[in-house]
A and B are shown apart, each in its own frame.
Chain A
Amino acid sequence: DQQVKQNSPSLSVQEGRISILNCDYTNSMFDYFLWYKKYPAEGPTFLISISSIKDKNEDGRFTVFLNKSAKHLSLHIVPSQPGDSAVYFCAASEANFGNEKLTFGTGTRLTIIP
C-alpha cells in the first residue's frame, strides 16, 4: 500500500548547492503534507508542512512546493549544508477530525558533500 512514494532512495549534493527531494502520493484525500528529517538512532524531526490550499511554503532554507493536480510535492534546501545529511521523509494526512494519522514515504537519504 504505497500511498506516499519517494522514488529516490538516495541523493548526493555538493555543499552550497540546492537539494531537491521529491515525493508523490496517490490518495486524493490527503490534505496536509509534511517533511521530516531523521538522523540515525533518533526520531523524525518535523521540518516544514503545507496545506493543500497552498502551493508553496517557505521557512528559512527550506521550501516545500505542492502540485496538487500532479499529486507531487518537493522539498528544496538551499544552500545545502553538511548538517543536512540525513534521511528525509515525506508524510501526508487526510486532515479530518478523528483521522490525524500520518502516512509516511520510504525516505530519501541525503548526503551533502563538503
Chain B
Amino acid sequence: EPEVTQTPSHQVTQMGQEVILRCVPISNHLYFYWYRQILGQKVEFLVSFYNNEISEKSEIFDDQFSVERPDGSNFTLKIRSTKLEDSAMYFCASSDRDSVYEQYFGPGTRLTVT
C-alpha cells in the first residue's frame, strides 16, 4: 500500500542552525501538508501546498519557515534559524484530488533543538 515517507526520523540541531525536513508524498497525490506536534500537545497545521504554491499557512508558519517541491517526488520543510520552541514531531501529509480532506500522514521527524 502506498505510504508517505519522511527523513530523517530524528534530527538534532543547535539553536540558530538551519534544518531541512524531507518528505516523499504518495505518488499520485496533489495536495501536500506539514503539521507539527509539540510533546503533550495537539497536532497543529503549519502549511498546505498545491499546484506548486502555498494555499494556506498558519500563524506558526512565519518567515523562518519555507516549503518547496524541488522535483516530482520530494516535499521539504526548511526552518532557517531554529529556536528551542521548534522542538516537535513534524508530520508530512498528502491527499488526492478526489478526497482532499482525507490526508495520509508520514511517520514524522522528531526535531530536537538544543
Contacts and interface: CB of A to CB of B under 8 A. Distances in A.
Given A32-B101, A46-B102, A102 B91 contact: no
Interface in B87-114: 91, 93, 95, 99-108
A103 B106 CA distance: 17
A99 B91 CA distance: 18
A102 B101 CA distance: 8
B1 to A, nearest CB: 11
Interface stretch (A13-21, A69-77, A78-86, A104-112): A104-112
Contacts of B4: 43
B interface residue count range (under 10 / 10 to 19 / 20 to 34 / 35 or more) = 20 to 34
A46 B104 CA distance: 6
B55 interface: yes
12 contacts: A36-B105, A41-B108, A43-B91, A44-B105, A46-B102, A46-B104, A93-B101, A100-B48, A100-B103, A102-B101, A102-B103, A104-B42
